[in-house]
Structure 1
Amino acid sequence: MKRLEQLCHQYTNLSESDIKELQRTARYLSSTTLYQSADVFIDVYKEMSQQALVVYHKPPAKTTSLYSGDVVGMEALLKNEPGVLRTMQTSLNSIGLLAVTQENRLIKQNIYPIRNEHRTIGVTIVEIAADEEIQADLQKEELNNCQLAKVAKSTSQVDALFIDQLAEAVLIFDAAGHLLITNHNAQELYRKLGYRDNIIGMSYDNLSIDYTTFEYVLYQMKYKMSNQPIESKTTYLNYYFKVRKVWLASEEQLIMIIQDNTEFKEKEAEIISKSVAIREIHHRVKNNLQSVVSLLRIQERRTQSPEAKKVLHESVNRIMAIAATHELLSKQVKDDVALRQTLEAVMYNFRHLFQGAQPIEMMMDVDPAIMVSSEQMVTISLVVNELLQNIFDHAFEPQTSGVVKLSGTLDNKMITITVTDNGKGYDVHQSNETSLGLMIVKSYVKDKLKGKITIESNKQGTKTCFYFEQNTSDVVH
């Protein structure tokens, strides 16, 4: 019992209560007169390798053991003993399944779950030899419950050639729960799951992968859900399946269709993993940009040139706009971002930078339903940042109040963003030739957003409007 405890502590996540229950089961198996002609084992789930682990073995009292060496502490592999992990996962008995020992010998296994606090914590395995003659007898014994007349009748009613063309695994059971007909994909599926027997004639309970027994399925079909199909999604070992069952009342047959969604689930998990990685990259880019901003601010404080201070200050604002977009992207699950959220980040940055320096009121009127792609978001942030920078630098006299308004609309898949102020205005034509900020704005709108920009300015203020086509993975109307 000490070795069982040590193995459980070393290789499993079982609790002390679970281990005590396994020890109690082991003591019972050691003292019982049952199974005197069989090797009896207790296996548990080994977390690291995701295989079964032998923690107890009782050799037969009346015959020679199937094992020449000590197998306690060894693994039972899925490919060799499919019933072991099947019972661990489904909590269903696995009766009469063929398996291969750690010493490469063919055996027959009966496997029963060991439960504690409504959970399966291990399995009891009863093993006997299964040479070719015994294997044939076992198959005949299972087929005795299936009437040959029903097999012939089923074959005429269900076109075996047709079901072989289906991508899903198809299994048809008789009224007693024995498998009558199956297609090639079903045979391949169960071989992949480790089944070594010919599954024809096998019971539903030995083939169930969704934690149901044949008795329960009949109850669902006949009394709870009539003839309506039953659908379920289930995980079995490392596989993901969608299972559909239909009861043919007139023929007293159960049709089970299994769709393997494992590849889809794996790709879905890969996408999620990449999405998390991308968000982490955005977070790190934001942090690195903030480090660059800190260095530029140090340089700005140390320089004596007013022109250099101005250039460094504008560079800080541009980098902060980019950093703000990466911060938003680091929190986004999808690729698309709300336009309002993008503009709010830019406005927050300006409020923070110019707080107390200029009594300017900033307003926003943007439909929160408008979405933009992450690529558009970065460009929009830079364009709006340059426009706001231009307003704070030139639109108002020092210490004078003013109003700046951002608006965003969507019409027929065209997004229009307008930035207005009530400042003193400027000569649009002259500024076009000398302003780096306006050069950046026009270049980004034209080349990156594939849009157009208009600027109107007079003594009552300036209105800059740029518009472009919405580009999202899920366009919101």
Structure 2
Amino acid sequence: MATLRDTAENYGSLTDAEAEWLALLTSDWQIIADLSFADLVLWRAVDDGFVAIAQCRPSTGPTVHQDDVVGTMAAAGRIAHLQKALDEGGIIASREPRWDDTYAVREDALPVIMEGRAIAVLTREVSQAVSRSSSRLELNYKGAADDLLHMITRGEFPVATSVTGPRRGAPRVGDGVLRLDAAGHVTYASPNALSCFHRLGVTGSLMNRSLPRVTSELVHDKGHIDETLAMVVMGRAAWRTDLEANGAALSLRAIPVTIHGDRTGAVLLCRDVSDLRRRERELITKDATIREIHHRVKNNLQTVAALLRLQSRRVQAPEAKEALAEAMRRVSTIALVHETLSGTLDELVNFDDLAARSMRMAAEIASPGVQVKIVREGDFGLIPAQYASSLALVITELVTNAVEHGFEGRDLGTITVTSHRENERLSVTIADDGVGLSAEPSGLGSSIVRTLVENELSGQITWRATGSGSAVELEVKVSEER
């Protein structure tokens, strides 16, 4: 997908600063389109006229352009209007509406100023097909839009520190609009905005009331007030914050209105995000519960491993002692997975760290008298949590088997673990420089590995002899969905 800079540079190069300024403008101009009930089109001057490089449709009214205009040239009759805005540096209203198919379109043009120079032209295009009465809401919306458009002609909008986009319920024009004067008094509140504050417990009208004082009376716990709240409700900074009271939550965003750097007021957007915050708290509680469950399972498994260790000390038969040691190692491996899961909220596990710990533990337990060097090549990547235990058990069993049987009668040995990840497929090779492989293993450990690989991981496994030892190759599927 082409970026705004890619599109613009089809018609001439842009500096980094110009590209960033235009990107900031187009990331935040939906507010102006909605306040104006109008389409916005960004034009760039070229040798033979002007070309459209971006457009925005309003969500509060009908669009002028049914088809995208990006990449099209301005009609010959519009070039003089666009050039006049570029030369004179103000908002230039069209003298007469132009006709587009069967309806008239009224157009305003203005320059986009950055650091005192014009780098593009913006048009505001309003369809005359729908007759609008000059309601109080419409007059205030258009007044707020005019304030922001005039800031564009002075290079004061967009604001670099402004928070744009729908992050965690960022409000839009349709959610609620307030206009503030320089002292933070409400000069207009849309019906939706008034409803939002009524949910917080505000009674009566907001008109001519000090918004900082109103919000201060709502918040009972002064020690937990977001430090940005005062700046936002005063309209002093282009920030976002949340206001919670009486079981309701509002998301607030301020856009200061300035004239040559002097703040004259602000446009404040608000949205009721009570349900959104409630669901977030539920998810946080659920995640904390899941982590606690993993932590308790890990503790219980470690207790089981300790009991097996105590039991192995009391038995005399070598076979029973070995069987208990193997069971203890498998339980410890599963406990290690749950320990990893208890420390994260993600459903994906960084398996490289987990594999390194489980292989080191397996080598130490399997044959304490042998110094085993484990060499890692490649990455496992992120593995979905539901496959982590099975894969960890498989890797641990194979490393243990290599240590126990490959290095019998030796003091030193090397195991090389090679992993290759390609999307949802994972290939792993575990090779040793031991005594080699005379036949495919058939013990309990190899049976466990084969069952896990084929049934749990939808893969396949093969054993083979090499010139200097043996190797096990497995290929498994570790996608999030099966």
Q: Give the TM-score of the pair, scaled to structure 1.
A: 0.55
Q: Secondary structure at the match of 1:235?
A: strand
Residues 325, 345 of structure 1: 8 Å contact kept: no
How has the CA–CA distance of structure 1 residues 464 and 191 changed in structure 2, closer, same or farther, with 3 Å as cutoff? same
**Alignment match of 1:193 (pick from 179, 192, 200):** 200
Aligned to 1:345: 357
Equivalent position of 1:24 in the other structure: none
Conserved? CA contact 2:254–2:266, under 8 Å: no
**Aligned-pair CA distance for 1:181:** 4.3
Q: Which amino acid aligns with 1:198?
A: S
Q: 2:476 aligns with which of 451, 462, 468?
A: 468
Aligned match for 1:418, one of 390, 411, 429: 429
Structure 1 CA distance for aligned equivalents of residues 470 and 349 of structure 2: 28
Corresponding residue for residue 357 of structure 1: 369
Residue type of the partner of 1:243?
A: R
- Residue 242 of structure 1 is aligned with which of 252, 256, 261? 252
Taking a change above 3 Å as real, the CA distance of residues 365 and 213 of structure 1, as seen in their structure-2 partners, is closer
Question: Which blocks of at least 5 consecutive residues in structure 2 are unaligned?
Answer: 1-133, 146-171, 217-228
Q: Count residues with an aligned counterpart.
A: 303
Secondary structure of the residue aligned to 1:242 is strand
Deviations along 1:408-439, one digit per CA (max 9) or x if unpaired, are: 2223443222211112223444x3xx322122
Say yes or no: does 1:170 pair with 2:177. Answer: yes
Paired letter, 2:457? L
Structure 2: distance between partners of 1:212 and 1:289: 52
Match of 1:402 in 2: 413
The residue number in structure 2 matching 1:374 is 385
Letter in 2 for 1:319: V
Following TM superposition, by how much is the alpha carbon of 1:274 offset from its aligned partner in structure 2, in angstroms?
2.5
SS at match of 1:211: helix
For normalisation by structure 2, the TM-score amounts to 0.55
Contact 1:241/1:262 (8 A) holds in 2: no
Q: 2:395 aligns with which of 376, 384, 387?
A: 384
Distance 1:355 1:400, change over 3 A: closer
CA distance in 1, matches of 2:332, 2:270: 53
Q: 1:157 matched to which residue of 2? A: 139
Asked if 1:277 is matched to 2:277, the reply is no
Task: Rate the CA distance shift 1:255–1:450 in 2: closer, same or farther, 3 A.
Answer: same
Change beyond 3 A, Cα 1:204–1:338: closer
CA deviation map 1:93-127 (0-9, x unaligned): xxxxxxxxxxxxxxxxxxxxxxxxxxxxxxxxxxx
* In structure 1, distance between residues paired with 2:320 and 2:232: 79
* Partner Cα separation in structure 2 for residue 353 and residue 278 of structure 1: 30
Sort the Cα spacing of 1:245 and 1:331 in 2 relative to 1 into closer, same or farther, 3 A: same
Q: Check whether the contact 1:314–1:389 (CA below 8 A) recurs between aligned residues.
A: no
- Code of the residue aligned with 1:449 in structure 2: it is L
Q: Is the 8 A contact 2:232 2:254 kept in 1?
A: no
Equivalences for residues 126-275 of structure 1 within 5 A? 154-155=136-137, 157-158=139-140, 167-173=174-180, 179=186, 181-207=188-214, 210-212=229-231, 217=235, 220=236, 230-237=238-245, 239-245=249-255, 247=257, 254-275=266-287
SS of the counterpart of 2:313? helix
SS of the aligned residue for 1:393 comes to helix
The residue identity in structure 2 corresponding to 1:189 is C
Q: Which residue of 2 aligns with 1:450?
A: 458
For the residues of structure 1 that align with 2:429 and 2:197, how far apart are their CA atoms? 63
Shift of 1:321: 0.9
Structure 2 residue identity aligned to 1:294:
A
The 1:318/1:455 distance shift into structure 2, 3 A limit, reads same
Amino acid at match of 1:241: S
Structure 1 residues 235 and 180: CA distance shift in structure 2, 3 A: closer
- For the 8 Å contact 1:242–1:260, the answer to whether it is kept is no
Select 1:330's aligned residue among 312, 328, 342. 342
Q: Which ranges in structure 1 are unaligned for 5 or more consecutive residues?
A: 1-151, 222-229
1:309 match: 321
Question: Which stretch has the larger CA shift, 232-241 or 286-295?
Answer: 232-241
What is the identity, as a one-letter code, of the residue corresponding to 2:470? T
